[in-house]
Amino acid sequence: MITACFYRQTLSSKRIWFATAMAALLGVAAVSNCRAESRESPSPPAQKETAKTPPLTQAAGGPVLVGSVGPGKTTTVTFVGAWNPKTGWRNAANAEEDKELMPDGTVWTLYGLNQPPLRVASGPVRLVWPFEHLDLPAEPEHCDVTAKLTRNPRGKYPLAVSGIDFMDEGLVRVLLPQEDPNTKRLCEYLLENGLVKKVEKIHQVVRADLDGDGKEEHLVAFHGNIWAYYAPNDEAYPANNSVIAAAHMTDSGTYRVSMLTEMAQIVLRGSHFGGRGVLGAEILAIADINGDGRREVVISTNGADWWAFEVYAFDGKRFQKVLFFGGYWA
């Protein structure tokens, strides 16, 4: 369920983008959790599956800033949003306020999938107005808040976090699909439960303990087909789609799979028919970005005319979208 939603709209000669920012509060959008129970493991009587939820941002005294580095500009950080311990997530939307949030000398921790985190500072804030040549009224939300990193990180670090003083160096394992027997299981689960029509090419297999219970969660990004309903004909067709699915075992031994790419499609495009769903989906980083002891999953998705940067939290039971930042290209 979505309880908070706002958007901004901007025009340019090359793109019209429509950024939808959800999750001003935590826990607004629970991702469907596929609840088909495994046949061998009937559930025991109801039990609490996780320990008491730790407080959010226990390590942060102030706002935790989230930025994105690249693609392309590997030495520029673009402000995406802030996580305030008291008020929750806020999307980057007001240039003046956001400028105050990331002053000259802001120290970031950069995260990527295949390397340890890296500390790097950023210089003075630059407000970039991508549309000023169009002679449009200068609205604060039309402004990108960016800053140059003081050194080149020389690697792919798509996630930048500031305001929390620890390096999340827990093991993230990036595997080749053929090295991971559980990937076959996950794909079979999706096919058997009708969640995808076909798995064509597996792009990423990532294993990491997201909730700190000592058991690794399992994430797979692949390209395949899903069923798409086309209302005019009242029929479902297979449509091209990229998917990120995440599997976990509950304490009662039940195998569960969540589709992380589902929400972007629904919010941005409605029907997936004709290949207009998620064309690309990538797991960018896995890190505890709010200091609550559990690690979030950062992904990027794009379609024919839209893109998104998304953050999902996992509480041991279900995945929730906690930050969404995206737009449309014309």
Burial class of residue 171, CB neighbours in 10 A (0-12, 13-18, 19+)? exposed
- Min dist CB 291 to Ca ion, Å, is 6
Asked whether the CA dihedral 17, 283, 315, 40 is positive or negative, the reply is positive
Beta bridge partners of 33: 258
- Min dist CB 322 to Ca ion, Å, is 9
Q: Which is nearer to Ca ion, 301 or 320 (CB)?
A: 320
Q: Which is nearer to Ca ion, 213 or 305 (CB)?
A: 213
Per-residue x/- track, 18-47, Ca ion (CB under 5 A):
------------------------------
Q: How far apart are CA 78 and CA 330, in angstroms?
A: 22
Cis amide bond preceding 116, omega within 30 = no
Q: Which is nearer to Ca ion, 256 or 294 (CB)?
A: 294
- Min dist CB 316 to Ca ion, Å, is 7
Q: Which is nearer to Ca ion, 292 or 310 (CB)?
A: 292
Q: How far apart are CA 116 and CA 76, in angstroms?
A: 19
Q: How far apart are CA 187 and CA 203, in angstroms?
A: 13
| Structure tokens that stand for 263 in this block | 């929400």
Site for Ca ion in 197-226 (CB under 5 A): 209, 211, 213, 215
Q: How far apart are CA 45 and CA 27, in angstroms?
A: 26
Cβ(111)–Cβ(38) below 8 Å: no
Q: Which is nearer to Ca ion, 272 or 294 (CB)?
A: 294
Q: Which is nearer to Ca ion, 207 or 272 (CB)?
A: 207
- Min dist CB 73 to Ca ion, Å, is 27
Site for Ca ion in 258-317 (CB under 5 A): 288, 290, 292, 294
- Min dist CB 313 to Ca ion, Å, is 6
Q: How far apart are CA 251 and CA 317, in angstroms?
A: 9
- In this structure, the number of other CB atoms found within 10 A of the CB of residue 63 comes to 20
Q: Which is nearer to Ca ion, 316 or 326 (CB)?
A: 316
Radius of gyration in angstroms for the set of CA atoms belonging to the chain, rounded to a whole number: 20
Task: Work out whether 168 is an interface residue with Ca ion (CB under 5 A).
Answer: no
- Min dist CB 186 to Ca ion, Å, is 15
| Structure tokens that stand for 115 in this block | 């390397």
Q: Which is nearer to Ca ion, 215 or 317 (CB)?
A: 215
- Min dist CB 261 to Ca ion, Å, is 21
Which residues have CB under 8 Å from 95's CB, separation 6+?
Answer: 127, 140, 141, 143, 145
Q: Which is nearer to Ca ion, 158 or 316 (CB)?
A: 316
The separation between the first and the last C-alpha atoms of the chain, rounded to the nearest angstrom, is: 28
- Min dist CB 213 to Ca ion, Å, is 4
Q: How far apart are CA 51 and CA 178, in angstroms?
A: 34
- Min dist CB 166 to Ca ion, Å, is 11
Q: For tokens 């003083």, name the residue.
A: 165
Cβ(193)–Cβ(34) below 8 Å: yes
Cβ(141)–Cβ(8) below 8 Å: yes
Tell me the site size for Ca ion, rule CB under 5 A. 8
Residues at the contact surface with Ca ion, assessed by CB under 5 A = 209, 211, 213, 215, 288, 290, 292, 294
